Amino acid sequence: MKNNVLKGSLFVALGASSYGMLATFVKMAYHEGFTTAEVTLSQFGLGFIGLFILNLFRKNLPVPAKEPSGLKSVLKLTIAGTSMGLTSIFYYMSVQYIPVSVGIVLLMQTVWMGVILEMILHKKTPGLRKVLSVFIILAGTILATNLLKQSVTINWTGIGWGLMAAISYTASVYSSNRIELHLPPLKRSLYMILGGLIIIACIFHTSLNRDFSYDIFLRWGLILSLFGTILPPLLFTRGMPLTGMGVGAIIAAVEIPVSILMALLFLGESVSFLQWLGVALILFAVVLMNLKKTK
């Protein structure tokens, strides 16, 4: 039993770490002159191809006797997947204007946004623990984004994109845990990535008609699709059942420090003590919010 939990924890940690690396890779691609359109289209395009191939191999494996996957299910997942595409667009736009260490903190506002969404959709009043966690996250965010430091110029454009990314990420997390759960994880991931690819293609379709650099597919597309659309779903779907949602959510928060450390090592971004303190508060709030589930 302990070995299973340990194995599941490792899978979840690796999946979260994969997500944590993305923004640094994107910023490095920006430094080479690539655009948001090129980055997102290559990530989701190659990611869809990769998941499609994995689903073909899956057909050779034993499958459940009943696996309904009609057109209605496909449409639901594809529509839900558009939020994944929007999350990538908004998040990658935000790190054009703000440091990666700030962008990941803004993205993690989805923790308290999820509480509000649950309250609105299910008319469920959050408990004291969740309310307290929300306030701790907000306090941590103020510290982690340097809002109190007067000598730092706040780029509100980047913060705006970051908050929009958090909103769409909240929708992604909600739909991932609610929609068409009877289908195998690989198939669900395929249709949701398809939805993300469609919305990205619709938004950036004009970019394909002019100076679109197809070099992005070999230069960064393979890395971004691997760490952003292929590995995380596989690792999370293997790990979460072994750890449980409570422990899994706590371990998945490793995405924040991984993202910041990647930015420190590869982009040379500086992170102050107060920012680290803010990150620590956010991580503590995630643990506090999921403590009951962990028990």
* The one-letter amino acid at 22: L
pLDDT value of position 65: 47
232: helix, coil or strand? Answer: helix
Cα(106)–Cα(76) distance, rounded to whole angstroms? 28
Cα(139)–Cα(158) distance, rounded to whole angstroms? 19
| pLDDT averaged over 10-residue windows placed end to end, the chain, 295 residues | 79 92 96 96 96 82 54 92 95 95 92 87 82 92 80 82 95 83 86 95 86 92 94 84 76 91 93 92 89 59
pLDDT value of position 62: 53
Domain with 188 in it:
2-294
How many domains does one find in the chain? 1
Dihedral angle over CA of 78, 82, 87, 90, nearest 10:
160
Residue bearing tokens 């230069």:
219
